[in-house]
């Protein structure tokens, strides 16, 4: 089946990295996939993975070139389904005989998705939020992300003394990610080293904060790294201090490596850690609470091992490539058969997505995406 995927995302980010994993995986599973992206670097990575991407600028609202390019690409490719990843791509994707799906990874402005036939969320909680805004139950769907299998990797060589307790945090250096809270926690744990893998607008401020607190000998800013598996292998645990985290791909990566997780109480971590039954959850915005969670995990090795095993089992059941690719394939087959492609000449097509009642989202596709036993 022919499916086009359109992404106007940032240079780095959880959704963008998942997109780059999903495209070759769908192709390998037999789908005819057309990725349309912004950025030559992303296009080059997709091409190296065996895809045949097309480029579009995806500029602001006044951008006639993107609309013309997308119309040209989609007419030539003739997909049965087009998936617009996040709001900017959904805004620019033109009408056509394809079923238009909007994929969300957070509580975005739904007005940008008003022309979509279906919306996909990457957590059940987000799907419920979309339905609560008025989207009909039969057109709101949950499809998870998958992450690589990081089991068995060799530890990365790092500037950490042998045997020193080490925590890993990953993500964009942005206020939402709460790395300042992690620094406050590390200040209370004098023997613990922290690896921070990522980059972003808060890098200079965080580095200055660590310097003022005298933490630079124990806090290591690594930048964006491609050796996630080796970083996880070198750490005792993953820490996710986010103030706002709709999912938490870094937690899924820790699950795949059987590493325990300590996380602040945000929507995604609370769901993934099953309200503390698959890892330690602490109140957000509290360096004291985060330090206590890290210390508790370090002191109780049996608990840490149990959490790591539970995370690995959850990864295998629900967040590995095979079940997620099967779910995406089943979903596209499902909406293709429904035959809800937009018809721009029919005014009623514009009414799709209006409020129809307070229905809950439909369950995942029964055979391909049954709610896994590991999920809350």
Which among 253, 268, 261, 254 is positioned nearest to 294, based on CA atoms?
261
pLDDT of residue 128: 95
Which among 69, 61, 76, 86 is positioned nearest to 5, based on CA atoms?
86
Can you read off the two tokens belonging to residue 340? Answer: 């809800």
Lowest mean pLDDT among 36-40, 72-76, 258-262, 339-343: 339-343
Which among 274, 372, 365 is positioned nearest to 328, based on CA atoms?
365
Which among 176, 199, 196, 174 is positioned nearest to 185, based on CA atoms?
196
Model pLDDT for residues 150-199, shown as the tens digit of each residue? 999 999 999 899 999 999 999 999 999 999 999 999 999 999 999 999 99
Q: The pTM is what?
A: 0.85
Annotate 322-358 with DSSP letters as a single string.
Answer: HHHHHHHHHHHHHHHHHT----TT-GGGGGTT-----
Distance of CA 348 to the CA centre of its chain: 34
**Residues β-bridged to residue 169:** 196
Confidence class of residue 373 from pLDDT cuts 50, 70 and 90?
A: low
Cα distances (angstroms) measured from residue 246 to each of 119, 149, 190: 16, 22, 31
Q: Where are the alpha helices (DSSP H) in 213-346?
A: 228-234, 249-256, 267-272, 287-299, 301-314, 321-338
Domains of the chain, each with CATH number or no CATH: 2-146+320-351 (3.40.50.2000), 166-319 (3.40.50.2000)
The more confidently predicted of residues 354 and 60 is 60
């Amino acid at each position: 089946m022919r499916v086009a995927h359109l992404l106007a995302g940032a240079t780095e980010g959880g959704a963008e990295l998942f997109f780059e994993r999903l495209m070759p995986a769908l192709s390998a599973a037999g789908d005819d996939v057309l990725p349309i992206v912004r950025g030559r670097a992303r296009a080059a990575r997709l091409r190296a993975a065996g895809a045949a991407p097309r480029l579009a600028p995806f500029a602001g609202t006044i951008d006639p070139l993107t609309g013309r390019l997308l119309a040209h690409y989609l007419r030539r490719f003739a997909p049965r389904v087009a998936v617009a990843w996040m709001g900017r791509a959904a805004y620019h994707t033109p009408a056509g005989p394809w079923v238009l799906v909007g994929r969300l990874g957070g509580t975005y402005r739904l007005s940008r998705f008003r022309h979509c036939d279906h919306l996909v969320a990457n957590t059940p909680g987000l799907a419920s939020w979309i339905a609560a805004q008025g989207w009909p139950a039969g057109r709101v769907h949950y499809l998870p992300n998958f992450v690589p299998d990081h089991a068995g990797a060799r530890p990365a060589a790092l500037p950490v003394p042998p045997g020193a307790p080490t925590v890993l945090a990953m993500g964009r250096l942005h206020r939402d990610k709460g790395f300042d809270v992690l620094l406050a926690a590390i200040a209370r744990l004098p023997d613990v080293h922290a690896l921070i893998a990522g980059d972003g607008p808060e890098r200079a401020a965080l580095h200055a904060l660590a310097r003022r607190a005298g933490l630079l000998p124990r806090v290591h800013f690594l930048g964006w790294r491609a050796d996630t598996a080796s970083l996880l292998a070198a750490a005792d645990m993953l820490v996710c201090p986010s103030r706002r985290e709709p999912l938490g791909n870094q937690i899924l990566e820790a699950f795949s490596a059987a590493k325990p997780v300590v996380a602040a109480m945000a929507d995604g971590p609370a769901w993934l850690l099953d309200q503390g039954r698959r890892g330690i959850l602490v109140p957000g915005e509290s360096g004291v609470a985060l330090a206590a969670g890290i210390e508790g995990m370090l002191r109780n090795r049996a608990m840490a091992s149990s959490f790591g095993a539970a995370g690995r089992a959850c990864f295998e059941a629900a967040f590995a490539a095979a079940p997620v690719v099967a779910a995406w394939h089943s979903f596209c087959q499902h909406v293709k058969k429904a035959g809800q492609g937009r018809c721009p000449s029919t005014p009623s097509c514009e009414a799709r997505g209006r409020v129809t009642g307070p229905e809950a989202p439909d369950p995942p596709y029964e055979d391909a995406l049954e709610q896994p036993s590991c999920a809350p």
